[in-house]
Amino acid sequence: MNRAIAVAEEQGPEAGLDIVDRLALEDYRYLHSTRGELLRRLGRTADARRAYRRALALVHDDAERRLLERRLAELGR
């Protein structure tokens, strides 16, 4: 995940997304929230919403939940 984020910052969100999409971490909420952010940056709003919703389904922390809900609300605008 860290490498994917670093690559996204250096080479752009598509490069980071390519790495994230190859990780076998389906039940890891940070994978989905990272995907959501990268997809948002790429303008893929519907895909970003799905990724954020998947992260929300896996989150147990109230602060993280609020952040993800805020991200979803921003995509709705």
- Supply the pLDDT for residue 35: 97
CA 58, CA 9: separation in Å to the nearest integer? Answer: 25
Domain CATH for 34: 1.25.40.10
Whole-angstrom Cα distance, residue 68 to residue 14? Answer: 21
pLDDT on residue 47:
97
Per-residue pLDDT at 77:
65
Compute the average pLDDT of residues 29-49: 97
Q: Is the pLDDT of residue 10 over 70?
A: yes
Residue 76's pLDDT is: 85
Total domains in the fold of the chain: 1
What domain range includes position 13?
2-76
